[in-house]
Amino acid sequence: MRWWACAVRVALVCGCVAGSVWAQDGAELARRHFRSGVTLFQDGNFDGALAEFEASQRALPSASTLQNIALCLTRLHRYVEAIETLDRLKAEHGGALSVEDRKAVDDSTQELAKLVGTLSLQVKPASARVSVDGQWLTPEALARPVRLSSGEHRIRAEAPMHEDLERVERIAGGESRSISIELKALAAEVAVVASDREASIALDGVFVGNGSWTGVLNPGDHLLQVYKQGYTQYATRFPVRAGERLELRPALGPALGDGATAQVPGGVPLVPVRSGIEPLPKGWYGLFTATTLVPLIHPDGFKSRDAWTGGAYGLRFGYRFWQNVAFEAMFDGGKQGVGPGDYETASGATRTTYELTSTRVGGNVRLLAGGRAVRFSGVFGVGSVRHELSLGTTKAQGQDGYFVLEAGAQFNVGKVLLEAAAIGFVEGVTDVKADTTRMYTERTFVPQVGVGFRAGWGEWGRW
């Protein structure tokens, strides 16, 4: 780099001029550090020269010292810091630089920029701390691409309850890279909330508090005991998996008779030992649905009390936010065949059948009440339905809204969900037309009722 040779001469000349000024001002310390820095730089000891120039800058700031600091940083391959130093030189002393010196600084900044790359870091968990070459990054700095000099860089990440990770990345000048770092979980966070605030809580035979406790447990099986004078105790073993957040809500057993003494952990075996404390029933779920449906209203002019066939199939997918409430999306489609029946038109009556095809897309609110394995399930929701009607030689179609209401029972077998429900749809039919002729004018909606069966998967279950 030819400009560096010029820069060395400028820096040394400026150093001599500044030396006379320092002597006049009595800043002997700054002058001594500056001269030592020049000597070390000429000897190739760039680390030592940098230390001397930085000491001189602290004693008496000057443009020539900043320039020499940038020279040392470049020799040490710390290009990002060299650019930052030159930017500082222009900001603090730009008005005092000659046109030639300012151009030299700008040229050097552009040339150094070719030796700098950027690295974007995506880290899990979000609470992890990250350092690059021993310097910890603030959350704000971590959210932006990190500028790095070309070469090798050591990256370290650490987070509570996770295994530390360290890796080396090579960055080339002008390169922009993105890497993902995911730390391995080592422990789990567990919260215990007893049904009685005065109840004592013990984990693995050690008393940890009254009423509630939150802390960290290693993976594996653990013993939970909840006890209070005059009450039957609660005890269970529960599994803990690394990285999970588990909330347990144990309840004391019934009150003991007069004169009974509560047992404490470590003594006589506890009375009832219940197993399988489950986390709060929250999480994703999905259900495949099969439904038989009967339309209660027919197109204009069609009268039938004969058989019907067909049904609907679909998919429900949602999230259980609380123990009693879930929200879900619904995709459903099916076909009903009705007849034969009498179809009266202006040209007379004919004996025929008709088919009604329905495709529904909407959203539901699901209400749940009951235990872990068996519960009541009710649904209400709204959405859009597309109808296609085939009546004799007449074809019609249209798009309307619908309302759905259902009630039934839901069962858990581990994470398998099973459900049976009575269901009713109220579907608009004002837009069902053959060309411009409405097929339903006596009613603006068609009720459909039936029974449905569902099978699927729920995240909150446990095998």
User: What are the structural domain ranges in the chain?
Assistant: 2-113, 116-182, 187-275, 283-458
Cα 364 to Cα 11, 186, 289, 385, 423: the distances in Å are 74, 39, 14, 14, 13
Task: Considering only residues 1 and 70, tell me which one the structure prediction assigns the higher pLDDT.
Answer: 70
* Alpha-carbon gap, residue 423 to 381, rounded angstroms: 12
Using CA atoms of 450, 451, 456, 459 in order, give the dihedral in degrees to the nearest 10.
90
Task: Of 33-37, 221-225, 275-279, 293-297, give the lowest mean pLDDT range.
Answer: 275-279
Per-residue pLDDT of 232-281, as tens digits, reads 788 888 888 887 788 888 887 777 654 444 444 443 333 333 333 444 57
Instruction: Write out the two tokens for 141.
Output: 């700095």
Residue 459 CB burial class (10 angstroms; 0-12, 13-18, ≥19): middle
Per-residue burial over 409-418, b = 16 or more CB atoms within 10 Å of its CB, e = otherwise = ebebeeeebe
What's the average model confidence in pLDDT over 347-373?
89
394: how many CB neighbours lie within 10 A of its CB?
A: 16
Nearest to 18 by CA among 36, 30, 1: 30
Q: What's residue 46's pLDDT? A: 92
DSSP 196: S
Helix axes 99-113, 63-75, angle to 10 degrees: 30
Q: What's residue 315's pLDDT? A: 96
Instruction: Write out the two tokens for 332.
Output: 């459903």
Q: What's residue 335's pLDDT? A: 92
| Beta-ladder partners of 3 | none
* Alpha-carbon gap, residue 107 to 96, rounded angstroms: 18
* Alpha-carbon gap, residue 107 to 309, rounded angstroms: 83
Q: What percent of the chain has pLDDT over 90?
A: 35
What's the average model confidence in pLDDT over 198-222?
87
Task: Of 139-143, 256-260, 273-277, 320-324, give the lowest mean pLDDT range.
Answer: 273-277
Cα 180 to Cα 149, 169, 384: the distances in Å are 20, 12, 41
What's the average model confidence in pLDDT over 32-59?
91
| Beta-ladder partners of 351 | 342
CATH no., domain 2-113: 1.25.40.10
Evaluate whether 2-113 and 283-458 have a shared fold.
no
Confidence at 8, pLDDT banded by 50, 70, 90:
very low
CATH no., domain 116-182: 2.60.40.1120
Mean pLDDT of the chain: 84
Per-residue pLDDT of 341-350, as tens digits, reads 888 887 788 8
Please give the radius of gyration of the chain, using alpha carbons only, rounded to the nearest integer.
39
Handedness of CA 420, 426, 431, 433 (dihedral sign): positive
DSSP 258: T
The torsion region of residue 187 among left (phi > 0), alpha (psi -120 to 50) and beta comes to beta
Q: What's residue 452's pLDDT? A: 94
* Alpha-carbon gap, residue 417 to 460, rounded angstroms: 10
Task: Of 41-50, 254-263, 293-302, 321-330, give the lowest mean pLDDT range.
Answer: 254-263
Task: Considering only residues 186 and 426, tell me which one the structure prediction assigns the higher pLDDT.
Answer: 426
Peptide bond into 254 cis (omega under 30): no
Instruction: Write out the two tokens for 20.
Output: 């006379």
Q: What's residue 305's pLDDT? A: 64
Residue 24 has pLDDT above 50, yes or no: no
Whether the Cβ atoms of residue 178 and residue 206 lie closer than 8 Å to each other? no
Confidence at 22, pLDDT banded by 50, 70, 90:
very low
Q: How far is CA 67 from the centre of its chain?
A: 47
Confidence at 462, pLDDT banded by 50, 70, 90:
low
The torsion angles phi and psi of 251, rounded to 5 degrees, stand at -120, 140
Q: Which amino acid is at 429?
A: V
CATH no., domain 283-458: 2.40.160.20
* Alpha-carbon gap, residue 211 to 199, rounded angstroms: 5
The torsion angles phi and psi of 141, rounded to 5 degrees, stand at -70, -35
Q: What's residue 269's pLDDT? A: 38
* Alpha-carbon gap, residue 52 to 86, rounded angstroms: 18
Which architecture, in CATH terms, is 187-275? Sandwich (2.60)
Residue 80 has pLDDT above 50, yes or no: yes
